[in-house]
Amino acid sequence: MIPHVETNQDLRAWPGDIPVEHLYTAGPAGDAALRAMKERAALLGSRCNACAVTYVPARYFCERCFARLNETVDVPARGIVKAVAVVSEDRDRKPLRKPVVLGLVALEGATGVFLHRLGVKKLDQAKVGARVEAVWKPPEERTGSVEDLLHFRVV
């Protein structure tokens, strides 16, 4: 039996948080992929010949046949847009000054799709089927992060 609350004074909530942050290593395969972005403005993939799959970014093992992946390949940083989302609010539901356009890009020679921003002047340029290519930050601004790739632009 749950009694009714009679006064506001009976209601107590305790504010708090879990005071941790996280520092992730990229691991051996992730290091190589992020270094390729930083040093060569390149997308590095891992090839599993047995499964005929190319993972981008590079991976340490094949999730299908469970083999260690040692063969890396440069995958052309261009492809075709498979899906588009236009984000107009931030996570607290405040309107963004400028909408962010996200795209899933099927890269030439890679399995699956790659998530990144689409750099378009007008929203109607962001279309499924559009051909896009990567725009990289200048070398001095690249840090070894997926953010070294600024966005994909429509060609």
The verdict on 6 binding another protein (CB under 8 A) reads no
Element (H, E) at 99: strand 95-107
The verdict on 64 binding another protein (CB under 8 A) reads yes
Residues numbered 22-51 forming contacts with another protein, rule: CB under 8 A:
22-31, 34-35
Relative to beta strand 78-89, strand 95-107 is: antiparallel
Which of 147, 144, 116, 115 has the alpha carbon at shortest distance from 31? Answer: 144
The verdict on 1 binding another protein (CB under 8 A) reads yes
Which residue number, 14 or 155, has a Cβ lying nearer to another protein? 14
Separation of alpha carbons 67 and 155, rounded Å: 37
Binding mask 76-115 for another protein (x = CB under 8 A): ---------------x------------------------
The verdict on 10 binding another protein (CB under 8 A) reads yes
Torsion of CA 74, 78, 80, 83, to 10 degrees: 90
Looking at residue 67, the DSSP 8-state letter turns out to be: P
* Range 68-91 burial, b when 16+ CB lie within 10 A, else e: ebeebeebebbbbbeebeeeeeee
The verdict on 136 binding another protein (CB under 8 A) reads no
Name beta bridge partners: 86: 101
Task: Identify which range of 12-20, 101-109, 114-122, 124-132 contacts another protein by CB under 8 A.
Answer: 12-20
Residue 61 beta carbon to another protein: minimum distance, rounded to whole angstroms = 5
| Binds another protein (CB under 8 A): choice among 20, 52, 93, 138 | 20
Give the residues lining the site for another protein (CB under 8 A).
1-3, 5, 9-31, 34-35, 60-61, 63-66, 68, 91, 144-145
